[in-house]
Amino acid sequence: MARIVGGLCTSHVPLLGRVIDSGRTGEPYWQPIFEGYEPTREWLKSVNPDVLIVIYNDHANGFNFKYTPTFAIGCANEFNPADEGNGPRPVPIVQGHSRLAWHMTESLVHDQFDMTIMNEMDVDHGLTVPLSLVCGQPAAWPFRVIPICVNVIQYPQPSAQRCYALGKAIRRAVESFDEDLNVVIAGTGGMSHQIHGARSGLINQTFDNYFLDKLVTSPEELAGIPLVEYVREVGAEGMEIIMWLTMRGALDDRVDVMHRFYHVPAMNTAVGNLVLENAKAQ
C-alpha cells in the first residue's frame, strides 16, 4: 500500500528560481532564505520519498486562457520545465508516476473530484521552484512527481474548503494504491503578496503567522475562511495559499511540526515554509 509520510508547504517565488539557477544563493540579500530551507532539505533526504505530489498553480505558462481547468492532474511520464518568456529553467525534466496518477484520477473522480487529465503539460515555476528549494541543484530530481494544478488565477476559483477536501480525497486515493510507495505531498504558493494595482507590495505578517499557526492546529478554521477574506488579507496573488490546505487535508488531524520558516521579503513576497508529519502520539 502507498502511504503519505509527510507534507510540506513552501512559497514558489519565481525570482528564487533565477537566483538558484544563476548561483547567487550566497548573496547577503538571499542567503537567509536559502539557509531557512536547509532543515527541509535535510528532512526530505531522510524521508527519501518515492513520489512527491505537488499542489501548485500555473501562471499562464503551461496553460494559457484557451482552457482553464479548476483541478488538473499530470498523468504523463514526464513534464518539461515551461518557457516563461526567457527560455525554460535549466533544471531536470520532471519524471511523473503515470500509473499512480491514473489510479488517483480514477479514485478522485469516483470521490466527486472531476479532475482534468493532462497527458502533456509543461510545468512552470509554481512547481519547479519548490523542487529547487527543497532539493537544490541535483542532476536529476530524486523522486517522481505528480503535479496537481489548481486554478487560482482566473475567477471563479475553488474555495479553501474545496482545496482542503481535495487533500482528504488525495489521501484516500494514495492509500488505495497497491504498490508499496512512500509519498510526500507539497502545497505551494504564498505567502502574502500582491503584484498588481495600487495595493502592490502588501505584506501581512500577522495573517501569515496566524495561517502558519492554524494550519498546524485547526486547518478547518482556515478552510472556512471565504476567498474574499484571503484576497483582502494576503493579496490577490497571495490567496494561492489556499493550496496549502490541500497538503494539510492529506495528513492526520494531529500533526508534528518538523520545521517552520518565515521570511520577509523575497522582493515582493513573504516567504513561508512548513514541514509536517502525522503526530507520533495521536
Partner 1 sequence: MEQVLTQLKERMTDYQDDFDDIPGTVLFNGERLRQGYQLNKFLSSLVDAESRAAFKSDQAGYLTKFAMTEQQREAVVKRDWSAILNLGGNIFCMTKLAIVDGTPFQHVNAIMAGMSHKQYEDMMNSGGRHMDGIRSKRGG
Residues involved in catalysis: 125, 193
- Grid cell of 36 as nine digits: 531557512
Our finding on whether 205 is near partner 1 (CB under 8 A) is yes
55 or 82: whose CB is closer to partner 1? 82
Pick one of 5, 47, 265, 278: the residue that binds partner 1 (CB under 8 A).
265
23 or 197: whose CB is closer to partner 1? 197
Closest approach of Cβ 188 to partner 1, in Å?
15
Our finding on whether 28 is near partner 1 (CB under 8 A) is no
Element (H, E) at 275: strand 269-278
- Grid cell of 135 as nine digits: 532539493
Question: What is the rounded CA–CA span in Å between residue 149 and residue 173?
Answer: 17
What is the identity of the amino acid at 271?
V
Our finding on whether 218 is near partner 1 (CB under 8 A) is no
Question: Residue 76: left (phi > 0), alpha (psi -120 to 50), or beta?
Answer: beta
Element (H, E) at 145: strand 144-150
93 or 267: whose CB is closer to partner 1? 267
Our finding on whether 196 is near partner 1 (CB under 8 A) is yes
Beta bridge partners of 83: 88
* Closest C-alpha to 55, from 184, 172, 161: 184
Question: What is the rounded CA–CA span in Å between residue 56 and residue 240?
Answer: 9
Our finding on whether 202 is near partner 1 (CB under 8 A) is yes
Pick one of 26, 48, 60, 220: the residue that binds partner 1 (CB under 8 A).
60
Cis peptide before 219 (omega within 30 of 0): no
Strands in 255-266's sheet, in edge-to-edge order, are 116-118, 71-74, 144-150, 51-56, 182-188, 3-10, 269-278, 255-266
Our finding on whether 203 is near partner 1 (CB under 8 A) is yes
Closest approach of Cβ 268 to partner 1, in Å?
6
Pick one of 95, 116, 176, 268: the residue that binds partner 1 (CB under 8 A).
268
Pick one of 65, 112, 114, 178: the residue that binds partner 1 (CB under 8 A).
65
Our finding on whether 240 is near partner 1 (CB under 8 A) is no
Binding flags for partner 1, 84-123, as an x/- string (CB under 8 A): xxxx------------------------------------
Pick one of 48, 119, 137, 154: the residue that binds partner 1 (CB under 8 A).
154
Closest approach of Cβ 132 to partner 1, in Å?
19
Pick one of 3, 24, 99, 199: the residue that binds partner 1 (CB under 8 A).
199
Question: What is the rounded CA–CA span in Å between residue 138 and residue 241?
Answer: 27
Our finding on whether 67 is near partner 1 (CB under 8 A) is no
Our finding on whether 151 is near partner 1 (CB under 8 A) is no
Dihedral pair phi/psi, residue 277, rounded to 5°: -130, 155
Our finding on whether 59 is near partner 1 (CB under 8 A) is yes
Cis peptide before 265 (omega within 30 of 0): yes
